[in-house]
Amino acid sequence: MALILLAGCGGSGEDGIDVSLRVVAPDNNIRLEGAECAGARPFEHVHAGAGYALEDTQGEVLTEGELPAGIAENADPSIDWGVERIPTVCVMALSLEDVPERGAYLLQLDEGPPIEFDAQLVSDTEPLQLIVP
């Protein structure tokens, strides 16, 4: 009985969800599409190894970690630039598992204001895109 009671104390009792995010530094920097990247100025704080925290709106940290390296994506796919090096944005993929369910979340990077998003926007199939302000 004591073991059962102790085991019950270990969990938070909360259900977790998986959250897939695309963190976009909209820097329009000239790069090769698909190249490894970090945020160009003024987004220089968005780079591999920089810290992030996912918080709820009360400020409780639900999960935290370090950003991966980004991948350069065409800043405007509607344009055929006609050259190898093109205006790009730097996109970092975050896959957060078993995040406690909340109505809304805040992604806080090492610098800059938090990026708030509603839990209803989180999808099982498509990562949610967050633009770094």
Partner 1 sequence: MRPHVQRAVLLTLLALLLALSACGGEDEQTYGGAEALPGPLPSGVEFEEPPAGGVPAPDFTAELLDGSEVTASDLWGDRPVVVVFTASWCEACKEQHARVAETVAEHEGVALLAVVPGDDAEAAREYAAELEVDHPVAVADDRVWLDWAAREPPVVVLVAPGGTVLRGWPGGVEPAVLADQLDALAPAQ
Cβ nearer to partner 1, comparing 50 with 91: 50
Closest distance between partner 1 and the C-beta of residue 36, in Å?
5
Cβ nearer to partner 1, comparing 38 with 96: 38
Please report, as ranges, the residues that interact with partner 1 according to CB under 8 A: 27, 29-32, 35-41, 44, 47-50, 69, 85
Query: Which SS3 state, helix, strand or coil, does residue 114 take?
Result: coil
Closest distance between partner 1 and the C-beta of residue 50, in Å?
7
The closest alpha carbon to 103, from 115, 118, 122, 124, belongs to 118
Cβ nearer to partner 1, comparing 44 with 97: 44
Closest distance between partner 1 and the C-beta of residue 94, in Å?
16
Cβ nearer to partner 1, comparing 35 with 131: 35
Closest distance between partner 1 and the C-beta of residue 61, in Å?
22
52: Cβ–Cβ under 8 A, 6 or more apart, which residues?
23, 64, 65, 66, 67, 94, 107, 108, 109, 110
Could you write out the DSSP letters of every residue in 34-81? T-EE-PPTT-TT-STT-EEEEEETT--EEEEEEPPPEEEEES-TTS--
